[in-house]
Structure 1
Amino acid sequence: MKSIELFAGIGGMALAAGWAGIETIAFCEKDQFCQKVLKKHWPHVPIFDDIKKMNRQVLEEHGVIEKDGTVDLISGGFPCQPYSIAGKRRGKEDDRDLWPEMFRIIKEIRPTWVVGENVANFANMELDRTLFDLESIGYRGRAFIIPACAVGAEHRRDRVFIVAHSSSKRLERVHNESNRIDLQLPKEIISGFKRKATPRVLRRGNGIPNRVDRIRALGNAVVPQQIYPVFKFIREIHEIETK
């Protein structure tokens, strides 16, 4: 399977996707420090820095996808500031609401799978819009809220993951064979909702290169273990579809 990751940050999604056997073939990320991290760990994967200028034609010109072709998966943790309880929660009235740009690219590329990520409060504000947009172009989707403490992190960090599949007759075959796959979240993740996590206070360190950039990048990053089960199930379902 091949994937394009939008709003990639330092590549948390790409790392988890790789664990599941999904190859990332392009990133979109504007932050220069994050770009350095991506180039270090994925030196041969092209990085596009402006989501508003990224489109099918650009991807075809750079050889990311073939003309009239597609990819198996488009993923992205679009900016959370419009929905975070730490902000003003202006939603789609906020200039940083970039779901419409991700949706535009999905419409142009038409991947088999879509995975979106955001803060938990997104489910209270704009989840209905996102699912409606995807359904309007033939995708079936649902959302999960998974806490980071369920996968061993020392903080709660609830995140909502939107998972959508392009509707097709092949999906009926997946449902018929779904007894081969546990499509429920693992028990350790379910139990994480009842777990109390107390974050440790990081020691201040003077002289650490790019310390502010590193902390900001980590704060915005997806915990790879948190989203890995999603990619794992997608990979297993893909194997049934293409059998």
Structure 2
Amino acid sequence: MQARISDGEAIFHKLVDLIPERNLLQDTRGVDVEQHVAIFMYAVSKNASNRDLQCRFQHSGETITPYRNRKGTLSQNVMVACNFDNQFKNVSAGWEGSASGARVLQDALQNNFYVPEGKYYLVDAGYASTPNFIAPYRNVRHHLQEQGRSNQRPQTPEELFNLRHAQLHNHVEQIIGVVKMHFQILKCASHHPIDSQADIVLACGALHNFIRSHEGSEQ
């Protein structure tokens, strides 16, 4: 009896077929595309060390990528824009952790991120409201926990708006939670070089979208 291929395996093989078609990666001596993808997927999903990867895939340290350094950990500010299909429309990564959200957004707008005409994005309280980006009202309850602690229904139009805004913001947090659940490397400080850290975030976002587009499970 032929074994049934799981949804995850089917999506993995679709990805393996797509990558060489797009000239993103080719077989190298001793490691084919399927192994390259498997190594990377295992690394980002388990936050595996170089040594762990060498042991699991039986390759030398020179073959296994990405590499880790010994310079300690760094943090980065990542801005994402999501749609109602639980996919990322934009991921801006690589900014130092102290960078303001407004600065990251401005840079994204100068580098291929745009808002379709007649549309807008909701942003959190760290941003200013503009015709294309709508933040919650300031000095008005805007977190779901604040609404819950008050133990009463919204009393003003501004409180009602902030409640609905918070509910949608919570949807975005759930999407991010799903990505972190799938890619454990995003849940803790990383020892990878900063350029690699930014690329890893972008790759995880792209992989998430690929899985979603092929109706992969969120669980």
- Pick the TM interval, shorter chain: under 0.3
If each structure's strand is expressed as a fraction of its own residues, which one has the higher value?
Answer: 1
Q: TM-score, length-normalised on structure 2?
A: 0.27
Larger-gyration structure (1/2): 2
